[in-house]
């Protein structure tokens, strides 16, 4: 993720303590792994309070997006509750799980984070759980079922896919986050 922002002319800083968060104009909550383990680390290390108090743009990527939601079936845990909706296992039917690869997007709502996005673009996904489509959904995807690909509420947002691996459109969407004014 760091290199994707550097390609946009940004100088990202990896912060290691929740006290540092308030000193930044925007933040990314990355995520790879199991939701219950990641959520426990956030709570145990004081990140939940820091994220709750943060008033500037904060973007969750992949698991980071899921942790911003109300709850997840992955480990059956309560999450940060910043974005309405629940994360459930993808119902992929006969398709392979996890959903891994390029997929089209459908714009559900126009937003500063969707600027320049067209239905012809594809982004790169790696996930087996997904946020249900609801009022917070800006962009949806489909893999066995419809799911939220980009969500936002107040200063919190999330992308289920990996923008850093999604070529030019991924860079465009990250730039939208850099430009996002509340």
Q: How many residues does the chain have?
A: 182
Whether 62 is catalytic: yes
Question: 5-8, long-range: CB within 8 Å, 24+ apart, which pairs?
Answer: 5/174, 5/178, 7/171, 8/171, 8/174, 8/175, 8/178
**Catalytic residue among 62, 74, 79, 131, which?**
62
Catalytic residue among 69, 74, 131, 164: 164
53 is catalytic: no
- Exposure of 4 by Cβ count < 10 A (0-12 exposed, 13-18 middle, 19+ buried)? buried
Task: Tell me, yes or no, if 6 is annotated catalytic.
Answer: no
Residues annotated catalytic, as ranges: 62, 162, 164
């Amino acid at each position: 993720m760091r290199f994707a922002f550097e390609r946009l002319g940004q100088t990202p800083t990896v912060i290691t303590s929740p006290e540092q968060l308030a000193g930044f104009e925007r933040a990314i909550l990355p995520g790879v792994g199991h939701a219950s383990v990641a959520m426990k680390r956030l709570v145990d290390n004081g990140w939940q309070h820091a994220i709750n108090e943060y008033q500037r743009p904060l973007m969750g990527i992949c698991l980071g997006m899921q942790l911003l939601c109300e709850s997840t079936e992955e480990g059956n845990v309560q999450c940060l509750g910043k974005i309405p909706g629940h994360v459930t296992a993808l119902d992929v039917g006969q398709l392979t799980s996890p959903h891994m690869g390029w997929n089209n997007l459908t714009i559900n709502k126009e937003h500063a984070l969707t600027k320049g996005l067209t239905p012809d673009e594809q982004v790169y996904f790696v996930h087996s759980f997904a946020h249900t489509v609801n009022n917070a959904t800006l962009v949806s995807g489909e893999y066995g079922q419809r799911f939220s690909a980009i969500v936002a509420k107040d200063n919190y947002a999330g992308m289920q896919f990996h923008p850093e691996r999604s070529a030019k459109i991924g860079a465009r969407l990250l730039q939208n986050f850099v430009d996002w004014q509340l």
